[in-house]
A and B are shown apart, each in its own frame.
Chain A
Amino acid sequence: MKRLALFAVILAGVLFAATASEFPRLGAVDSAPSRHVSPAYIQGSQPQTHTPNFVTSVLADYRGFDTMFETTVVFLAGMSCFFILRALRRRGVTEVYYYRHKPTGVVLAMLTPRRIPPRSSCFERIDADWMPQDMVVETMCLFMVPFIQVFALYVIAHGHYSPGGGFQGGVLLAASFILVGLSRDLRTVESLLTEKTAILAAAAGVCIYAGTGLLALCFGGNFLDYGAYASFFGAAVPAARSMGILIVEIGVALTVMATLVTIYKLVSSRGTVEEGL
């Protein structure tokens, strides 16, 4: 089987190498891609959308419809993970809950969790495979979180001018939550961003994107035509387009963040969202 796979890979490689001889040279200015639509984007981005970074204007405006569906794909990935992995009803599994008495370090194993209130001052719930936490690691990681989040907001907001945008910013935001999960435990993440909030945020993010598109119909534009908002914002069409790009990028960031955190929680806890990595 491995040999067959190797053979297939080599064959495909040879075929692609053989058919690539007609391709234009890398970066050739007279090649078809650089002559056909690219000049329109490069020259039009600033005057038409007030966005110097034309990657952003292609992504979120000229071809914003693709990006809307890409965001839907991210949302879909989260929903698929939820649909397949989430263990909502567990049969025949006896749950054991572990509680650590903070002053003494004694750990109680209990079958009924309600004996101890969730926010007890002297008991804390711990995972089955709990290990004494490293204070240095935990403190340093929690110290980094606000910086990561501020940088994420910068990446989202500055997408018009520099590399960045909703996807990258959303991933950074999700990374900050996952860092909390790695350095402390899943329950802390769950208390910061509950499963319900995350699913609602993921849906809200795509809704912001698609809703921005649909609302343009009310202002007489086509779907996703941010220029139609010019009268609403009281600004010129390019400025309205720039504003539209920012709004949809925020939607993308929300969906990406919430979906990645949801997937992390589901995968790391085998679908229980109780305890895990």
Chain B
Amino acid sequence: MTAQLPILAVAPLLFGAFAVTVGRFLFRRANYAVAALALAASFAASVLLAIRILSQGTAIYFVGGWPPPIGISYVADPLSALMLAFVSGAALCTFLASKAEIETSYPLKNSAFFALFLLAVAGHMGIVITGDAFNLYVLIEVAALSGYAILAQGRERAMLSSLNYLFVGSLGASLYLLGMGYLYIMTGSLNMADLSGIIGQLAPDGLSGSTALAAAWGVILAGLFVKMGLFPFHSWLPAAYSFSAAPAAALVAPLTTKVMAYVLVRMILSVFTPDAAWSLPAVNTLVLILATAAILYGSFCALAQRSLRKMLCFILLSEVGYMVGGAFLGNRAALTGTIYHIFADLLMTLCLFLAASNVERGTGGRFSDMGGLFRRMPVTAAAMAMGGLSMIGVPPFCGFFSKWYLLSGAISAGSYVFAGALVLSSLVNAVLFFRIFEIGFFGTPAAPSASSGEAAHGHPEPIPLFCDEMPAARLAPLCVVAAGLVAMGLLTGEIVRLAVNAVLPPGLG
């Protein structure tokens, strides 16, 4: 059965989605459990697969029994197997942590939400493990379509923001598809391993030798940048993630940008090979400029925000800049940094969004509501502090190590502007999070629903000394993720050795 693990990581989510759809009419009360079970089964299969792949090496699974260029294959190499475990684990944590929110945010449409949630996770997992470039497009569609739907329910302009995301996201997916069309007409293949061999023959001296291949690379890059929200294509992201209901944002925000960055790395490593992907100096320079701009823009816009989730969205924008920039600095350390940062940022974003959804539920999402947070919600605030410290890049946390790799890569590539942007963004993150810590420690708690009634009497509400922390069921996944930040930081050497070095070509300088 172990040979079937790649498909068993994705299949429970599909069948779970169909089961909850039927369950709407048959076993409505058990639906949450069914969905959680599907996620848990998928997580278990992914972990088993990751253990097996990290110890025994890459496995290729032929879907339908057809060997690669003819049929579609799943490629479980150390990178994709580990990513699969992270994605399914993140989805499971989000799902377990937001039970109460799901019940209140989508009162009569729980089952539909479960189905869309499971299919969104299935889409992201399929993107990670597939070895076929067109199958990847189909799964981008699955992931994106369910994302648009679940992000559409929420506060204020959620519907409009999601529609905006739909238009922009469809454009991104179409550009990727167009790029695949270019590649197919030039090579006749859709399998990633096969493609990289043929591209190597067609353009042995880099993509500058072939206009069509260079155009393919450019169009694919543009599509991926739109999908991951890199600087000039970012306008959909903050609104879509900050107006939606909390569970949807906590699922989509950690997964979509990171999985798209993973696709970018996959394109560089497995489809074009690093030599070809970095062979166009103009593209490299342009992408580095965009990445630097994204880092600066995200950081400074985050400074201007007054609500927690919106601030996190802009930090997310600058993190996208880190990953894209690292992938185009053109050396081993920077690419290692990018790959490591995909994992690290997934955990950090997850931790911060889960903490933010607790804070929003407990006190309200604006900074002015968050006074006395450390006293009122000590566990949530501690987890948020850990996420924040990791974002800043404080040593025991994983955020430090990805920045370290990225910085050393930037310096050895001689790209001091990018290095400067990295440092500056860390400083801005420090300002952002220490401002929250200050409010949380020393701020006066806003009296709940008291602003008008109490103010009339002239007696400000005394600082409540009680602790109204969330129930343990919500805190447990958050604590696991926060602990994961430290654990991943301590295991950096192992992760880089097992998952990153195993997939980087040995000759990469």
Which residues of A are at the interface with B, using a C-beta cutoff of 8 A? Answer: 15-16, 18-24, 31-38, 40-41, 44, 61-66, 69-70, 72-73, 76-77, 79-80, 82-84, 86, 88-89, 196, 199-200, 202-204, 206-207, 210-211, 213-214, 217, 221-228
Tell me if B150 counts as interface (CB < 8 A to partner A): yes
Besides the known contacts A22-B211, A73-B142, A73-B145, 20 further A-B residue pairs in the complex with CB atoms under 8 A apart: A20-B212, A37-B70, A41-B70, A65-B71, A65-B135, A66-B72, A69-B139, A72-B142, A83-B106, A83-B152, A84-B152, A84-B159, A199-B25, A200-B22, A214-B11, A222-B61, A222-B65, A225-B64, A225-B65, A227-B65
| Structural contact, A19 and B215, CB atoms closer than 8 A | yes
| Structural contact, A210 and B152, CB atoms closer than 8 A | no
Contacts of A41 in B (CB 8 A): 70
Per-residue contact bits, chain B 48-92, to A (CB 8 Å; 1 contact, 0 not): 000000000000011111100111100000000000000000000
Shortest CB-to-CB span from A113 to chain B, Å, is 21
In the bound complex, CA of A61 to CA of B186 (Å) = 24
| Structural contact, B4 and A217, CB atoms closer than 8 A | yes
Tell me if B113 counts as interface (CB < 8 A to partner A): yes
Beta-carbon contacts under 8 Å, B261-295 to A: none
| Structural contact, A199 and B185, CB atoms closer than 8 A | no
Total number of B residues with any Cβ neighbor in A under 8 Å: 59
Contacts of B63 in A (CB 8 A): 64-65, 222-224
Contacts of A89 in B (CB 8 A): 107-108
Interface locus among B13-21, B35-43, B331-339:
B13-21
Tell me if B153 counts as interface (CB < 8 A to partner A): yes
Contacts of A31 in B (CB 8 A): 185, 188
Minimal Cβ-Cβ distance residue in A for B178: A16
Contacts of B108 in A (CB 8 A): 88-89
Do most interface residues of chain B lie in helix, strand or loop, or is the interface mixed? helix
Which residues of B are at the interface with A, using a C-beta cutoff of 8 A? Answer: 4, 7, 11, 14-15, 18, 21-22, 24-25, 61-66, 69-72, 106-109, 112-113, 115-116, 119, 122, 126, 132, 134-135, 138-139, 141-142, 145-146, 148-150, 152-153, 159, 182, 184-189, 198, 210-212, 214-215
| Structural contact, A79 and B116, CB atoms closer than 8 A | yes
Residue of B62, B63, B69 with highest tally of chain A CB at under 10 A: B63
| Structural contact, B126 and A69, CB atoms closer than 8 A | yes
Contacts of A16 in B (CB 8 A): 215
| Structural contact, A32 and B185, CB atoms closer than 8 A | yes
Minimal Cβ-Cβ distance residue in A for B182: A19
| Structural contact, A19 and B145, CB atoms closer than 8 A | no
| Structural contact, A210 and B15, CB atoms closer than 8 A | yes
- Return the contact of B187 from the options A32, A61, A62 (Cβ within 8 A): A32
25 residue pairs bridging A and B, Cβ less than 8 Å apart: A19-B212, A31-B188, A32-B189, A33-B188, A36-B198, A37-B188, A44-B70, A64-B63, A65-B63, A65-B64, A73-B142, A79-B112, A79-B149, A83-B116, A83-B153, A84-B149, A84-B152, A84-B159, A86-B109, A196-B25, A210-B15, A214-B11, A224-B63, A224-B64, A224-B65
| Structural contact, B4 and A223, CB atoms closer than 8 A | yes
**Known contacts A19-B211, A79-B116, A196-B25; A36 and B69 CB within 8 A of each other:** yes
Contacts of A84 in B (CB 8 A): 149, 152-153, 159
Contacts of A33 in B (CB 8 A): 184-185, 188
In the bound complex, CA of A80 to CA of B115 (Å) = 10
In the bound complex, CA of A11 to CA of B409 (Å) = 35
In the bound complex, CA of A19 to CA of B7 (Å) = 38
Residue of A22, A41, A44, A72 with highest tally of chain B CB at under 10 A: A72
Contacts of B11 in A (CB 8 A): 210, 213-214, 223
**Known contacts A36-B69, A76-B119; A222 and B62 CB within 8 A of each other:** yes
In the bound complex, CA of A35 to CA of B198 (Å) = 13
Contacts of A226 in B (CB 8 A): 64
| Structural contact, B109 and A83, CB atoms closer than 8 A | yes
Contacts of A24 in B (CB 8 A): 185
Shortest CB-to-CB span from A185 to chain B, Å, is 25
